[in-house]
Amino acid sequence: MKEQKTIAVLICYFGKLPWYFNYFIHSCKYNPTVNFFIVTDNVGYEMELPSNVKLVHTTLDELSNLTTRKLGFRVNLFRRYCICRFLGKLVRSMYCAVPWFKKA
């Protein structure tokens, strides 16, 4: 049987999670061909996650340091919206760090 292709979605969310986050997580399990990486500094989420959702806990400082190492020059993500400038490198580093994320 042919292996089904999947999609990876990277979501960076820093700060208090929105009120509808539980509903979003619930909807993720109905999209089994989509793997969700949620990069967040919120460590208080305690509900069970579907198998296709991975919470990656980090801080903006840790993310700045990771991006600095990957790019080879100093990056300061002092504002959350700066993350989108470096999204490609973040995806590549997560590909190496998360074993269940397979190459298509």
Is 50 within a domain?
yes
Q: Can you give the pLDDT at residue 85?
A: 63
Q: Please give the DSSP secondary-structure letter assigned to residue 44.
A: -
- Split at pLDDT 50, 70, 90, the class of 1 is low
The DSSP symbol for 39 reads: E
Q: Which domain holds residue 55?
A: 7-97
Number of other residues whose CB lies within 10 A of the CB of residue 47 = 8
In a domain, 78, yes or no: yes
For the chain, how many structural domains are there in total?
A: 1
Domain membership of residue 31 (yes or no) is yes
Burial class from Cβ neighbours inside 10 Å (0-12, 13-18, 19+) for residue 45 reads middle
Whether residue 2 is contained in a domain is answered as: no
pLDDT tens sequence across 44-95: 888 899 999 999 888 888 877 877 777 777 777 766 656 666 666 666 665 5
Mean pLDDT over all residues of the chain? 77
Confidence of residue 29 (pLDDT cuts 50, 70, 90): very high
Residue 22: per-residue pLDDT: 94
Task: Report if residue 23 sits inside a domain.
Answer: yes
User: Helices marked H in the chain — which ranges?
Assistant: 21-28, 60-71, 87-97
Determine, yes or no, domain membership for 103: no
Q: Which residue has the tokens 């919120």?
A: 42
3-state secondary structure of 41: coil
| Residue 73, in any domain of the structure | yes
- 90 within a domain of the structure (yes/no): yes
